Structure 1
């Protein structure tokens, strides 16, 4: 006799696929940070495109698994929301890398590494949170959620410092434009991490 678990599936594949999506997103931020702290800062777009493709593949598998599965370990809407939030992280990182490759000659004087490091940290926290969905430990998830919030707050503070530089009068118009555009892309990428973390935290609240 087949058990219900055999017929419907245990749903573990969803946790695995969400883990894969989160790790792919994190890897894209790692590639960006490594590029920004390198001496020549030459863009290596293959690393970003590979991470994005892994994320896209995981997202497609999640969608197909939702179609194929009768039962899911989490509500379908929550799985879809988290998959969508994770998908947006490497998309934003790749946007930065693609544009950076076109403007490298104008950006040698700008140090993106500290902000890229914060983005990498935020994506790392998201990986921990997504992996924690297996256990639904609200206390641990609350700590991680607060850590992600702190990174976001620090990023906001650094953005204020950036605007101080922009309006200082020391930069020409092109430098002002590029500085604002690229830091805003990084800020949005951190926001994407925060959004993914919020979805995970809400799922945990609902199921703990």
Structure 2
């Protein structure tokens, strides 16, 4: 029977993945109704969610430092915690880059990539919800495979968006700006895959 302290680790993982989902949802709403004048306030709102994620990360690290026995290896707890926190950070950084580069309108390619990021986040959330039961779960390995598939889809969209950006030409500053935003969107998918990789390694080591 799992100890209460064991369950608290997995609960924190879920809370962190839920923050990533909320951050993605807020960003999608912002970009779907894009308004330059509202960006400073929206950045603050998004940062509040990022700070919520940081609080969960700090709580996780405090528990790892305090507990004599942990449900899985400490390095795996730390690695997964960092990846989950990075998902939220990377989503926030999309809007930060849009603001920094003074982007005035959002491309269809960006929205398409952002949709895939959201699908990755949903699968990561499903993954960590099942994580405490990884020895018996019927869905956790399917979620890992699906995250890998979504990351590959994100790569394909990134390549197409990048090529479209450079073949169309246009304002060089705008090309540079969108290059950075597309990279950041692709990075979000990568980080979701990294989180899934940590979970997969835990499964391999413990079954």
TM-score (norm 2): 0.88
Separation (CA, whole Å) in 2 of partners of 1:39 and 1:102: 15
Q: 1:53 to 1:62 in 2, by over 3 A?
A: same
CA contact (8 A) 1:48 1:90 kept: no
1:6-25 mapped onto 2 (5 Å cutoff):
10-25=5-20
- Between 54-63 and 36-45, report the one with greater CA deviation: 36-45
Instruction: Tell me whether 1:71 sits opposite 2:90 in the alignment.
Output: no
Contact 1:148 1:197 in 2 (8 A): yes
Contact 1:141 1:204 in 2 (8 A): no
Match of 1:83 in 2: 81
Counterpart contact for 2:15–2:56, Cα < 8 Å: yes
Structure whose alpha-carbon radius of gyration is higher? 1
Alignment pair present for 1:141 and 2:136: no
- Shift, 1:49, TM fit: 0.9
Length-normalised TM-score, structure 1? 0.88
Q: Which stretch of the first structure deviates more once superposed, 83-92 or 27-36? A: 27-36
Judged with a 3 Å threshold, the aligned counterparts in structure 2 of structure 1 residues 154 and 81 are, in CA distance, closer, same or farther, namely: same
Structure 2, unaligned runs of 5 or more: none
SS of equivalent to 1:171: coil
Deviates more, 1:161-170 or 1:191-200: 161-170
Contact 1:138–1:204 (8 Å) recurs in 2: no
Aligned to 1:110: 107
CA RMSD of aligned residues (A): 2.0
